[in-house]
A and B are shown apart, each in its own frame.
Chain A
Amino acid sequence: MTRIEAIIQPSRFESVKEALHQIGVEGMTVSEVRGHGRQKGHTETYRGREYEVDLLPKIKIEMVLPYNLVDGAVQTILKTARTGKIGDGKIFLSKVDEAIRIRDEERGEGAL
Chain B
Amino acid sequence: MGIPSTPFGTVLRDFYAEEFARIEREFRASSNGRMATQARSALLDRVIVDLGREFLGQEPGEIRKLCLVGLGGYGRRELFPHSDIDLLFLWEDAGVESRFREAAQAIGRALWDLRLRVAPTHRLVAECDKLQRDNPEFNISVLDSRCIGGDRGLFERLRNKALPHMIDGAWSELLADLATLTRQRHRKEGDTIFHLEPNLKNSPGGLRDYHVAWWVGLISNMEKHGRWATPEDVWPSKSRKHMEAAFDFLAAARCFVHYRQGRDDNALSYELQAAAAARGIGVEPGHAMEPADWMRIYFRHARAVYALSTQLLDETLPAPATLRSRLEGWKSRRLHPGFSVAGARLSLLDPAALREPRRLLEVFQYIGKHGVKLSREAEDQIRETLPTIFDSGSAVRGLWGSLKEILVAPHAAEALRAMHSSGLLVRLFPEFRVIDSLVMRDYYHHYTVDAHSFMAIENIHRLRAPEKTWERPFANIFSELEEPELLFLSLLFHDVGKGMPFEDHVAGSLEAIEKVFTHLDLKPEEADTVRFLIRDHLAMSASILRRDIFDPATIRVFAEQVGTPERLKLLCLFTYADIRAVNPDALTPWKAESLWQLYVLTANYLSRSLDEERFRAGAGDLQFIDRILPLLPVPSSRDELASFLNGLPRRYLFAHSSEEVAAHFALARRLKDDPVQLHVENRGQIYTLTLLATDRPFLFAGVSGTLASWGMDIWKAEAFANAAGVVVDTFHFTDPHKTLELNPPELARLKGNIAEVLSGAVSQETLMRGRAGVLSAPQPKVSVPTQIRFDDVSSSHSTLMEIVTQDRAGLLYRLSSTLANIGCNIEVAVIDTEGQRAVDTFYLTVGGAKLAAATQETLRAALLAALEL
Please give the residue numbers on chain A whose beta carbons come within 8 Å of chain B beta carbons, in ascending order.
Answer: 9-11, 13-14, 32-34, 44-48, 51, 53, 56-57, 83, 85, 87
Choose one: A14, A32, A56; the contact of B591 (CB below 8 Å). Answer: A32
In Å, the complex CA distance between A87 and B547 comes to: 13
Contact A48-B544, Cβ < 8 Å, known A32-B590, A57-B593: no
The 8 A CB mask of B596-616 against A (1 = contact, 0 = none) is: 010011011000000000000
Closest to B597 in A: A53
Closest to B543 in A: A11
Contact A47-B590, Cβ < 8 Å, known A10-B545, A14-B545, A53-B597: no
Q: Which residues of A contact B594 (CB under 8 A)?
A: 10, 57
Q: Which residues of A contact B597 (CB under 8 A)?
A: 44, 53, 57
User: Do A9 and B588 touch (CB < 8 A)?
Assistant: no
In Å, the complex CA distance between A57 and B594 comes to: 7
Closest to A88 in B: B548
User: Do A13 and B545 touch (CB < 8 A)?
Assistant: yes
In Å, the complex CA distance between A112 and B834 comes to: 56
Choose one: A44, A57, A83; the contact of B600 (CB below 8 Å). Answer: A44
Q: Which residues of A contact B603 (CB under 8 A)?
A: 46-47
Q: Supply 14 A–B pairs (Cβ within 8 Å), ascending by A.
A: A10-B545, A10-B546, A11-B545, A11-B546, A14-B546, A32-B588, A32-B590, A34-B590, A34-B593, A46-B603, A47-B837, A48-B839, A53-B597, A57-B590
Nearest Cβ distance between residue A26 and chain B, in whole angstroms? 17
Q: Does B802 contact A (CB under 8 A)?
A: yes
Closest to B804 in A: A48
Choose one: B546, B591, B834; the contact of A47 (CB below 8 Å). Answer: B834
In Å, the complex CA distance between A14 and B804 comes to: 41
Q: Which residues of B contact A46 (CB under 8 A)?
A: 600, 603-604
In Å, the complex CA distance between A53 and B601 comes to: 11
User: Do B604 and A44 touch (CB < 8 A)?
Assistant: yes
Contact A47-B839, Cβ < 8 Å, known A13-B545, A57-B590, A57-B594: yes
Nearest Cβ distance between residue A70 and chain B, in whole angstroms? 27
Closest to A48 in B: B804
Q: Does B550 contact A (CB under 8 A)?
A: yes
In Å, the complex CA distance between A45 and B590 comes to: 20
In Å, the complex CA distance between A74 and B604 comes to: 38
- Which are the 3 A-B pairs with shortest beta-carbon distances? A48-B804, A32-B590, A46-B600
Q: Does B789 contact A (CB under 8 A)?
A: yes
Closest to B802 in A: A48
User: Do B802 and A44 touch (CB < 8 A)?
Assistant: no
Q: Which residues of A contact B804 (CB under 8 A)?
A: 47-48
Choose one: B600, B834, B839; the contact of A51 (CB below 8 Å). Answer: B600
Closest to A53 in B: B597
In Å, the complex CA distance between A14 and B542 comes to: 11
Q: Which residues of A contact B551 (CB under 8 A)?
A: 85
In Å, the complex CA distance between A33 and B853 comes to: 42
Nearest Cβ distance between residue B557 and chain A, in whole angstroms? 13
User: Do A44 and B601 touch (CB < 8 A)?
Assistant: yes
In Å, the complex CA distance between A93 and B434 comes to: 51
Q: Does B230 contact A (CB under 8 A)?
A: no
Task: Beyond the given A9-B548, A10-B545, A47-B839, please list 12 additional residue pairs across the A-B interface where CB-CB is below 8 A.
Answer: A14-B546, A32-B588, A34-B590, A44-B601, A45-B604, A45-B802, A46-B603, A47-B834, A47-B837, A48-B837, A57-B597, A85-B551
Nearest Cβ distance between residue B608 and chain A, in whole angstroms? 10
Q: Does B787 contact A (CB under 8 A)?
A: yes
Of residues 631 to 654 in B, which have CB atoms within 8 Å of A's CB atoms? none
Q: Which residues of A contact B601 (CB under 8 A)?
A: 44
User: Do B588 and A10 touch (CB < 8 A)?
Assistant: no
In Å, the complex CA distance between A87 and B700 comes to: 45
Of residues 673 to 701 in B, which have CB atoms within 8 Å of A's CB atoms? none
Nearest Cβ distance between residue B630 and chain A, in whole angstroms? 38
Closest to B480 in A: A47
Q: Which residues of A contact B590 (CB under 8 A)?
A: 32-34, 57
In Å, the complex CA distance between A34 and B802 comes to: 31
The 8 A CB mask of B828-851 against A (1 = contact, 0 = none) is: 000000100101000000000000
Choose one: B548, B593, B789, B802; the contact of A11 (CB below 8 Å). Answer: B548
In Å, the complex CA distance between A87 and B545 comes to: 16
Nearest Cβ distance between residue A37 and chain B, in whole angstroms? 14
Closest to A15 in B: B546
Closest to B589 in A: A32
Which of A14, A45, A56 counts the most B-chain CB atoms under 10 A from its CB?
A45
In Å, the complex CA distance between A81 and B219 comes to: 65
Q: Which residues of B contact A14 (CB under 8 A)?
A: 545-546
Nearest Cβ distance between residue A10 and chain B, in whole angstroms? 6
In Å, the complex CA distance between A10 and B544 comes to: 8
Of residues 506 to 559 in B, which have CB atoms within 8 Å of A's CB atoms? 544-548, 550-551
Nearest Cβ distance between residue B127 and chain A, in whole angstroms? 46
The 8 A CB mask of B177-207 against A (1 = contact, 0 = none) is: 0000000000000000000000000000000
User: Do B545 and A56 touch (CB < 8 A)?
Assistant: no
Of residues 785 to 837 in B, which have CB atoms within 8 Å of A's CB atoms? 787, 789, 802, 804, 834, 837
Nearest Cβ distance between residue A96 and chain B, in whole angstroms? 27
In Å, the complex CA distance between A85 and B553 comes to: 13
Closest to B789 in A: A45
Closest to B599 in A: A46
Nearest Cβ distance between residue A56 and chain B, in whole angstroms? 7
In Å, the complex CA distance between A70 and B150 comes to: 72
In Å, the complex CA distance between A81 and B781 comes to: 51
Contact A87-B839, Cβ < 8 Å, known A14-B545, A32-B591, A57-B590: no
Q: Which residues of A contact B548 (CB under 8 A)?
A: 9, 11, 83, 85
Q: Which residues of A contact B802 (CB under 8 A)?
A: 45, 47-48
In Å, the complex CA distance between A11 and B553 comes to: 14
In Å, the complex CA distance between A9 and B547 comes to: 9
Q: Which residues of A contact B837 (CB under 8 A)?
A: 47-48
In Å, the complex CA distance between A14 and B545 comes to: 9
Q: Which residues of A contact B604 (CB under 8 A)?
A: 44-46
Closest to A83 in B: B548
User: Do B547 and A11 touch (CB < 8 A)?
Assistant: yes
Q: Which residues of B contact A57 (CB under 8 A)?
A: 544, 590, 593-594, 597
In Å, the complex CA distance between A57 and B597 comes to: 10
In Å, the complex CA distance between A57 and B789 comes to: 28
Nearest Cβ distance between residue B197 and chain A, in whole angstroms? 22
Nearest Cβ distance between residue B204 and chain A, in whole angstroms? 30
Q: Which residues of B contact A48 (CB under 8 A)?
A: 787, 789, 802, 804, 837, 839
Closest to B805 in A: A48
Nearest Cβ distance between residue B706 and chain A, in whole angstroms? 28
Closest to B834 in A: A47
Of residues 113 to 168 in B, which have CB atoms within 8 Å of A's CB atoms? none
Q: Which residues of B contact A51 (CB under 8 A)?
A: 600
Q: Which residues of A contact B588 (CB under 8 A)?
A: 32
Of residues 38 to 87 in B, which have CB atoms within 8 Å of A's CB atoms? none
Closest to B787 in A: A48
In Å, the complex CA distance between A83 and B551 comes to: 11
Nearest Cβ distance between residue B270 and chain A, in whole angstroms? 21
Q: Which residues of A contact B545 (CB under 8 A)?
A: 10-11, 13-14
Q: Which residues of B contact A53 (CB under 8 A)?
A: 597
In Å, the complex CA distance between A51 and B470 comes to: 13
In Å, the complex CA distance between A11 and B601 comes to: 17
Of residues 377 to 408 in B, which have CB atoms within 8 Å of A's CB atoms? none
In Å, the complex CA distance between A57 and B787 comes to: 30
In Å, the complex CA distance between A87 and B548 comes to: 10
In Å, the complex CA distance between A65 and B365 comes to: 59
In Å, the complex CA distance between A11 and B789 comes to: 33
Q: Which residues of B contact A9 (CB under 8 A)?
A: 548
Q: Which residues of B contact A10 (CB under 8 A)?
A: 544-546, 594
Nearest Cβ distance between residue B799 and chain A, in whole angstroms? 16
The 8 A CB mask of B3-30 against A (1 = contact, 0 = none) is: 0000000000000000000000000000
Closest to B590 in A: A32
User: Do A87 and B550 touch (CB < 8 A)?
Assistant: yes
Nearest Cβ distance between residue B391 and chain A, in whole angstroms? 51
Q: Which residues of A contact B839 (CB under 8 A)?
A: 47-48
Q: Which residues of B contact A11 (CB under 8 A)?
A: 545-548
